[in-house]
Amino acid sequence: MSFSLLSWLAAQTYYPQFYWQHRDESEEVAACGQVKCFNHIRDAHRFLATHRHSLHTDDVRIWGLNAWDTIIPGRIDKEKGDDAYLFLPRIEIRRQQQLSIHINLLAEEDKQSALAFIRSLKNALNIAPLSVKVTSVEHSLTQQQWTDYLNIALDEINQGVFEKVVPARGNLLKLR
């Protein structure tokens, strides 16, 4: 049976909603609802370290993103770090070789809230494929800006500031 995680996620009324697919398509994840939110990776790490035993698993994932339009390599405020949105989802559906469903609870008292959440989930929507033509593409960075950012990031990796950087840029597509 084919089950589209994107179609399922589109039907839900809870937020945040997060979809991720590994670049080699070996894993796909749909996460929905929020049990806990973090504005800094440090707080997420602290939460996991504190709650790993009470969560009864080492397989808890926190999802989210960094704001790429406000973060400049070398100028991230490592204390505040408020340019991130990270969350522990209420439900996470993962597909690798098989489908697995993960429900996150913070405490015993959270069970009733989680049950109400589960009961209110919707079936997947039928989403028609898009039939569009790209009329123009605008990149958020010029080639020179892109090169400058990559050089700064590589210098900071060499200095031990970062272990890795995943290059990304925004693109504006106009469709017809």
What are the tens digits of pLDDT across the range 40-73? 888 888 898 887 776 666 788 999 886 655 555 4
Is the pLDDT higher at 134 or at 51? 134
Is the pLDDT confidence value at 112 over 90?
yes
Residues 58 and 111 in one domain: yes
Number of domains into which the chain is organized: 2
Instruction: Please give the pLDDT value at position 74.
Output: 47
**pLDDT tops 70 at residue 83:** no
1 — pLDDT class (breaks 50, 70, 90): very low
CA 137 to CA 42: how far, in whole Å? 36
Domain encompassing residue 41: 5-127
Average model confidence (pLDDT) across the chain: 84
Looking at the structure, tell me whether residues 108 and 141 fall in a common domain. no
Confidence class for position 82, pLDDT limits 50, 70, 90: low
Please state, for a pLDDT cut of 70, what percent of the chain lies above it.
Answer: 86
Average pLDDT over residues 150-167: 83
Residues 26 and 80 reside in one and the same domain = yes
- List alpha helices for 30-142, DSSP H: 41-51, 111-119
Q: Which of 107, 127, 147 is the last residue of a domain?
A: 127
Pairing, β 134-139 against β 91-95: unpaired
**Are 171 and 102 part of one and the same domain?**
no
Q: Are residues 45 and 96 in the same domain?
A: yes
Same domain, 15 and 62: yes
For the chain, give the number of residues.
176
| 110 & 141 share domain | no
What tokens does 79 get?
Answer: 């204390």
- Do 91 and 175 sit in the same domain of this protein? no
165 and 93, same domain (yes or no): no
For residue 42, which phi and psi values (nearest 5 degrees)?
A: -60, -45
pTM above 0.85, yes or no: no
